[in-house]
Chains A and B, each alone.
Chain A
Amino acid sequence: MSTEAAKEPSMLMQKEMIARNYEAITSKHETGRKVSSTFVPGNLNELLMCFDIVNNLPEINAIQAGMRKASGGYIMEAEKSGHSEDVCTYVKADIGQMSKGNIAPNGKPYPDPDVLMLSYTGCYTFMKWFELLREQYKCPTLMLHVPYEGDGHSTKNMRDYIVKQLKEVVIPGLEEVSGVKFDIDRLRGYLKNSAKAEDDLVWCLEQGKHKPSPIDAYFGGVYYIGPIFTAFRGTEDAVKYYEMLRAEVQGRIDRKEGPLTPEGTSFNDQKYRLVVEGPPNWTHFREFWKMFYDEGAVVVASSYTKVGGMYDLGFRHDPDNPLESLADYCLGCYTNRNLPTRVDILAKYVEEYEADGLLINSIKSCNSFSAGQLMIMKEVERRTGKPGAFIETDLVDPRYFSAANVKNRLESYFQMIEQKRRGGGSKTVAA
């Protein structure tokens, strides 16, 4: 395996966008721009842009640290200072990184944020994470509470509550931090860009229905969602990025090619089509991915590519109803939907993408995703008649990635799919 992953033009463009954003963050003292920290689900990027605020996402920083193999040390550092071994490793990677100089991927120190935009959507840990950071940075913290869709749908009360918080807490708070007056037309402009990019993202993700699939909706998918889920939704750059991505995917469809592997080859010989639930492991990302394509397994749909918005279910940011559409966006993120809805979504993916089954990568320290996944697997198996499998890793804690175990389990799963194809029974592969 080459050490540098092969890159398509869209990936290079994204890399350049990310680098620019890190530069904007780390140069805030020179430029005078304000920096906010915020989360991927319920990310209010267009709104932050209205105040010229640069968006820094600690989850993404933890992922970056995981991919650079630095997160293990950060996590141990946080545990030494009293953070429990049981809690989300993103939080510990972030906190541990602070005590190790808090250096951004561009080699420059992260400046302290000017505001913590606590968009509290779909994960309990978010609330505590920013309470912890607030102790450290002592900066304003704006809480936007997004109620959970416990009954499987949002209500008018939930939406009104979010809009009210946006109007009375978030917007005045951001005005104060930035000194910029809110202009709703500016927001409308950004939301227009968002909707365009969202159309193209959905188109790309839906091409997983082709055979061979021109995309990998999990390992490749994490790149495809990058701009929209992070600091670029609403920008012209994001619109261009998705146009470029769409053209690349179209090219592969025309050539009947699969996605590009990190080794630079087209993954055409696809034997197994999977739907995957749960975030990936980042510390061994390429090794993990290789276990799939080496065996001929392509991921045709995934839930992780929906954590920052479920655009494939039809939602688009709407310039005509700007604040309401931000509220709807937050409400609809994947982990803010109840378990029966998650089962519906995954079962539908298995069927519509003609997958061989559902694979769950259960993350040790993420209750938001993980609590209930065994039930999800049983239900999806029952409804689709397709076998499921369950593997366990962690996000950014390398201690919990056991390559041999994962590989073993994947191999058994693929054998089971073979058996099933030959008409044998289905049995779950699990711990």
Chain B
Amino acid sequence: MAVADIVKRCQDMYEDLNFTYAREWKAAKAGRKVVGFLPVYAPMEMIHAAGCLPLGIFGGGDQMEVIHGDAYYQSYICRIPRSTIELGVTGRVDFVDGMIFPFVCDVIRNLSGIWKMMFPNVWSKFFDTPQNFDPSIGGDYYAVELQELREGLEQLTGRKITDDDIRRSISLYNENRRLVREVYAFRAKEPWKAPTSEVYVLMRAGLMMDVEEHNQLLKDYMAAAAAEDRPKRDNVRIAIYGSFCEQPPLNLIKSIEMAGCYVVEDDYSLVNRFITEDVPVDGDPVRNLAMSFITHSVETSCKYVPKLGEKGKYHVAQVKQCGAEGVIYATPSFCDPALLDRPMICSALTEAKIPYISFKYAENSGQMQPIREQAGTFADSIKLWS
């Protein structure tokens, strides 16, 4: 498959707010169930092990008009909860049997309750991940939470999830994460061959399709992108942070690229990069999932950083590792996690002499000119001073 075909397929899926793929997947076999999850991390292995399709729901993007959702949220609350409500009340997710609301912030936390009230027939679960990272404290707690999630899914599907089911799913998701990391490394090495506007839709589509299919697609994309001859431009290399929950419109990503930036690192829809190493397959699979979260997961705003002096160090290390020359800290408006973190992350960047700019967006931002100008000026300044 050529790059353009793969990207088109992914982009079509990403733009399809009727979730045709998931509907068809469910209809293909009697008894199949779809379980949606919101940002920023959900243990997809467990959903998969239950025989369900994990479906990433990342708001409504810039293609959907929000009519009902605004009646549920004041103007000073970010956009993703209102567009998610819109998806619900317009029947776009009426085939979804369960919804997981992972801990990100109080908005998604409270949305879990709204969902319970609005859609009482859907199994809705607020999924709280630990903020204590001691294996015998937070690890123990989290293993039991995962076990409860397992039981909830068993009730939903009416079938037991065996340890071997989970192990099989862990293997598939380990491969997925490895391939995702490879795509990211490939992009960091030769960003002109794997523009972020492509990588982004490739990742988003992956959160809506069967994992084995996505694994193949990742391999196909890398092979096709490596084979394609694309010109290398005199762009600067930047990392994007602050965009882990409500997603920017694709146009915003394209605008940053058009302004002379290669995005070589990002925290867009983090789910498939949240765990940074393979989850061990042998042994107690629930414990293994718990421990991987505790010991090998990214630093992001919804996680507490226990040690003084460590805040933002992760971001600095990532920037260095992927050879970024600057950071764009791009956050959704009214996003508590990203905005409360901003001064701390940015001061760690300053200390490491990494230039940065920051701006806010909404998933339906339409005006790209100011962003293009800001990113262009930033790129120019990096070229001038580096």
Q: Do A and B bind each other?
A: yes
Is B277 among interface residues, defined by CB-CB distance under 8 A? Answer: no
Complex Cα–Cα for A343 and B118 (A): 13
* Interface residue ranges, A against B (CB under 8 Å): 81-84, 86-88, 91, 120, 123-125, 127-129, 131-132, 134-135, 138, 140-141, 143, 145, 147-148, 150-151, 155, 157-158, 160-161, 164-165, 168-169, 338-343, 362, 364-365, 367-368, 370-375, 379, 392, 431
The residue from B116, B141, B311 contacting A160, defined by CB atoms under 8 A apart: B141
Complex Cα–Cα for A155 and B145 (A): 10
In the complex, the answer to whether A82 meets B346 with C-beta atoms within 8 Å is yes
Chain B residues with a Cβ closer than 8 Å to the other chain, count: 56
In the complex, the answer to whether A145 meets B117 with C-beta atoms within 8 Å is no
A84-B339, A131-B344 are known contacts. Are A338 and B106 too (CB-CB below 8 A)? no
Within 8 A of A (CB), among B261-312: 301, 304-306, 308, 311
Complex Cα–Cα for A362 and B347 (A): 32
Is B377 among interface residues, defined by CB-CB distance under 8 A? Answer: no
Contact with A along B320-340 (1 / 0, CB 8 A): 000000000000011111011
In the complex, the answer to whether A86 meets B339 with C-beta atoms within 8 Å is yes
In the complex, the answer to whether A86 meets B333 with C-beta atoms within 8 Å is yes
- Residue on B with the closest CB to A85? B339
In the complex, the answer to whether A148 meets B343 with C-beta atoms within 8 Å is no
In the complex, the answer to whether B117 meets A150 with C-beta atoms within 8 Å is no
The residue from B105, B144, B343, B344 contacting A367, defined by CB atoms under 8 A apart: B105
Specify which chain B residues have a CB less than 8 angstroms from the CB of A141 in the assembled complex: 308
In the complex, the answer to whether A124 meets B73 with C-beta atoms within 8 Å is no
A143-B131, A143-B306, A157-B148 are known contacts. Are A339 and B103 too (CB-CB below 8 A)? no
Segment at the A interface, from B107-115, B184-192, B214-222 = B107-115
In the complex, the answer to whether B126 meets A169 with C-beta atoms within 8 Å is no
The residue from B111, B339, B347 contacting A135, defined by CB atoms under 8 A apart: B347
Complex Cα–Cα for A128 and B345 (A): 12
In the complex, the answer to whether B116 meets A134 with C-beta atoms within 8 Å is no
Please list 5 pairs of residues, one from A and one from B, whose beta carbons are closer than 8 Å in the complex, sorted by A's number. A131-B341, A138-B308, A145-B132, A150-B112, A338-B112
Complex Cα–Cα for A392 and B77 (A): 13
In the complex, the answer to whether B105 meets A124 with C-beta atoms within 8 Å is yes
Please list the 6 inter-chain residue pairs (A to B) with the smallest Cβ-Cβ separation, ordered nearest first: A150-B126, A339-B113, A128-B340, A161-B141, A145-B131, A84-B339
Is B367 among interface residues, defined by CB-CB distance under 8 A? Answer: no
Complex Cα–Cα for A124 and B144 (A): 22
In the complex, the answer to whether A132 meets B343 with C-beta atoms within 8 Å is yes
In the complex, the answer to whether A91 meets B340 with C-beta atoms within 8 Å is yes
Is B71 among interface residues, defined by CB-CB distance under 8 A? Answer: yes
Nearest CB in chain B: distance from A173 CB, A: 12
In the complex, the answer to whether B114 meets A339 with C-beta atoms within 8 Å is yes
Beyond A124-B105, A135-B311, A367-B110, 8 additional pairs, beta carbon < 8 A: A82-B342, A82-B343, A88-B336, A120-B304, A124-B336, A150-B109, A341-B113, A375-B117
The residue from A84, A127, A168, A374 contacting B134, defined by CB atoms under 8 A apart: A168
Nearest CB in chain B: distance from A29 CB, A: 23
Specify which chain B residues have a CB less than 8 angstroms from the CB of A338 in the assembled complex: 110, 112-113, 116, 126
In the complex, the answer to whether A340 meets B117 with C-beta atoms within 8 Å is yes
* Interface residue ranges, B against A (CB under 8 Å): 71-77, 81, 101, 103, 105-107, 109-114, 116-118, 125-128, 130-132, 134, 137-138, 140-141, 144-145, 148, 301, 304-306, 308, 311, 333-337, 339-344, 346-347
Specify which chain A residues have a CB less than 8 angstroms from the CB of B311 in the assembled complex: 131, 135
Specify which chain B residues have a CB less than 8 angstroms from the CB of A341 in the assembled complex: 113
Complex Cα–Cα for A135 and B340 (A): 13
Specify which chain B residues have a CB less than 8 angstroms from the CB of A123 in the assembled complex: 106
The residue from A134, A150, A160, A374 contacting B128, defined by CB atoms under 8 A apart: A150
In the complex, the answer to whether B137 meets A372 with C-beta atoms within 8 Å is no
Complex Cα–Cα for A375 and B334 (A): 19
In the complex, the answer to whether B336 meets A125 with C-beta atoms within 8 Å is yes
Complex Cα–Cα for A164 and B130 (A): 13
Nearest CB in chain A: distance from B205 CB, A: 29
- Residue on B with the closest CB to A362? B74
Complex Cα–Cα for A147 and B148 (A): 14
In the complex, the answer to whether B344 meets A374 with C-beta atoms within 8 Å is no
Complex Cα–Cα for A431 and B128 (A): 33
A87-B340, A339-B114 are known contacts. Are A368 and B308 too (CB-CB below 8 A)? no
- Residue on A with the closest CB to B107? A371
Complex Cα–Cα for A367 and B338 (A): 14
A125-B336, A157-B144, A157-B148 are known contacts. Are A374 and B126 too (CB-CB below 8 A)? no
Specify which chain B residues have a CB less than 8 angstroms from the CB of A160 in the assembled complex: 141
Specify which chain B residues have a CB less than 8 angstroms from the CB of A339 in the assembled complex: 110, 112-114, 116-117
Specify which chain B residues have a CB less than 8 angstroms from the CB of A343 in the assembled complex: 117
Complex Cα–Cα for A118 and B93 (A): 38
The residue from A91, A168, A342, A370 contacting B77, defined by CB atoms under 8 A apart: A370
In the complex, the answer to whether B340 meets A371 with C-beta atoms within 8 Å is no
- Residue on A with the closest CB to B342? A84
In the complex, the answer to whether B74 meets A370 with C-beta atoms within 8 Å is yes
Complex Cα–Cα for A81 and B344 (A): 12
In the complex, the answer to whether A86 meets B335 with C-beta atoms within 8 Å is yes
The residue from A82, A88, A131, A143 contacting B132, defined by CB atoms under 8 A apart: A143
Specify which chain A residues have a CB less than 8 angstroms from the CB of B347 in the assembled complex: 135
- Residue on B with the closest CB to A140? B308
Complex Cα–Cα for A405 and B106 (A): 27
Nearest CB in chain B: distance from A186 CB, A: 25
In the complex, the answer to whether B334 meets A86 with C-beta atoms within 8 Å is yes
Specify which chain A residues have a CB less than 8 angstroms from the CB of B148 in the assembled complex: 155, 157
Complex Cα–Cα for A147 and B125 (A): 13
Complex Cα–Cα for A81 and B346 (A): 12
Nearest CB in chain B: distance from A266 CB, A: 36
